Every structure is written in structure tokens, then in C-alpha cells.
Amino acid sequence: MRKIQIKIHSKDTQAKSKKRFRGFSFIEVMVVIIILGLLSSIVGVYLFDSAEQAKADATKTQIRGLETALDLYRLHNSRYPSSEQGLQALLGKPEVGVIPKNWNGPYLRGNNLPEDGWGGPFRYLSVNGKDYEIISLGADGADGGTDLDADINSSDL
């Protein structure tokens, strides 16, 4: 004899099976989109700040490299270049001011002076040939400022 199985579906079982295949509601999708938007804005701000801080760090590294080149210049010539001669004296023998007799450069690689992290030129000041100061004007390219807009000075490193 053959057994016949009869499945009886109750209303609860049918309701559960229909819910299982149902999609997300519009409100659930919107909540997820809003959460993703908030997270991406937070991460975007963090990454932007990190990129600007990296430019400041690169500028400090460039200043340290210029300091090394200036020290080598002084070793050969017994003084740092004057403000009038500027950092160009590291690339070519100065033709103004006190002309160094033992110039043995160039003291930097390449044909151009390095720029700060924001693409601006460095300022160089030397009054007596014994001391110097290298300055980057920071993110804003203007004197003074705070945070990332603050000037970066070789005497502060």
C-alpha cells in the first residue's frame, strides 16, 4: 500500500514563506544610503587633512635637505650665501655680493630649486653669512597663519 502524505499549510507558515522572499522597503534602503553618505564624508575629511599634513611634512624634509646643501656650501666657502645671492648659489656660482673662491657646486641635484609642499618657493635670509633662515609660507602662501597655513621656518625644526 502506498502512503499519501498531505501537507497542511497554516496561515502562519504561508505568511513566513512570503516574508522570506520579500525585498527591502524604500525606507530601509534610504537609511543605508544616508549612513553610507555620513561615513564617506567623515572619511573624506580625514583623508583631506592627512594629505595636507603630508605636504607640511614634505616641506620640512625639503628644508632639511636645503640645510645640508647650505652646510656643504659653507664648508667650502667659509660662509653661507647672502640673502642677495639666495638659494640660487647652491646651483650656480654667485655673481653678486661676496664671490666665493672655493665654490665647488652645484650643491643640489637638478637644475631647479625645490619648492615647498604647496608648490611655492622658499624664502632665504642670511644677514652676516654665519646664520640663515629658510621659510615656507605654508598652505595659504601668505605671511603668518595658523595650523596648516602657518609659516614653516628652518629655525623651528
Q: pLDDT tens track of the chain, all 157 residues?
A: 566 665 555 555 555 555 555 677 888 888 889 888 888 877 777 766 778 888 999 999 999 999 999 999 999 999 999 999 999 999 999 999 889 999 998 999 988 999 999 999 999 999 888 999 999 999 888 888 888 789 999 988 8
Nearest-angstrom CA–CA distance, 130 and 142: 27
Nearest-angstrom CA–CA distance, 95 and 102: 13
Fold observed for domain 48-156: Glycoprotein, Type 4 Pilin (3.30.700)
One-letter amino acid of 20 = R
Buried b (16+ CB within 10 A) or exposed e, 112-146: ebbebbbeeebbbebeebeebebbbbbbbeeeeee
pLDDT in the model for residue 97: 87
